[in-house]
């Protein structure tokens, strides 16, 4: 039921995969609140709580709306303020990614259905054929939709990629600060005004 296998993500971080068939909701706020109260997070809507003896991040099955795998972050009992800020930044990034891809995938599905309906209507066909099966379009017709959808959402994807790149750079700097203990030095060097 619980851990399927252990992944190594660098030398310091272990993650476990959850094998659960339950649907997953956004994994941001309830885990953070539980950690503030000194409890283990309840896996943020998964209906699963990692065992108390676990010292790893846990990765759940893909969300049905965003197709992203939520992460249940381990909160050590002696977590420093800097480690907490890093974990919270990771949780915030995860929640933001969850929202973006859920919205994007919802828009994609809706526009795809509208495109199929309009093309079938233009051909004089119904959504279902005589046998009751859903009518479909061929690959060439769907290629027109995919091209238009990507063109229409190009700026959104570009902004998202810049956002993710910024988070990656920021997180890697924070991680280096934590590992080397040079938080104040790096802060003064990167952000001289602060």
**pLDDT tens readout for residues 150-192:** 999 898 888 888 877 777 777 677 677 666 665 544 444 444 4
What local confidence, expressed as pLDDT, does residue 112 receive? 93
What local confidence, expressed as pLDDT, does residue 18 receive? 52
Domain map (residue ranges) of the chain:
3-190
23 band by pLDDT with thresholds 50, 70 and 90: very low
**Angle, helix 154-180 to helix 139-152, in steps of 10 degrees:** 60
17 band by pLDDT with thresholds 50, 70 and 90: low
Q: pTM (2 decimals)?
A: 0.59
């Amino acid at each position: 039921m619980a851990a399927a296998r252990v992944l190594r993500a660098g030398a310091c971080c272990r993650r476990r995969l959850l094998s659960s068939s339950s649907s997953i909701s956004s994994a941001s706020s309830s885990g953070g609140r539980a950690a503030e109260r000194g409890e283990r997070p309840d896996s943020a809507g998964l209906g699963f709580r990692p065992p108390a003896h676990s010292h790893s991040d846990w990765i759940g099955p893909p969300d049905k709306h965003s197709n992203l795998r939520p992460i249940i972050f381990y909160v050590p009992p002696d977590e420093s303020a800097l480690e907490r800020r890093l974990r919270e930044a990771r949780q915030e990034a995860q929640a933001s990614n969850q929202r973006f891809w859920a919205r994007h995938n919802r828009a994609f599905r809706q526009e795809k259905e509208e495109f199929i309906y309009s093309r079938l209507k233009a051909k004089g066909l119904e959504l279902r054929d005589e046998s009751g099966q859903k009518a479909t379009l061929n690959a060439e017709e769907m290629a027109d939709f995919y091209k238009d959808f990507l063109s229409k959402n190009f700026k959104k994807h570009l902004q998202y990629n810049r956002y993710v790149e910024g988070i990656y750079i920021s997180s890697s700097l924070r991680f280096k600060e934590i590992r080397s203990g040079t938080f104040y030095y790096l802060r003064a060097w990167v952000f001289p005004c602060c």
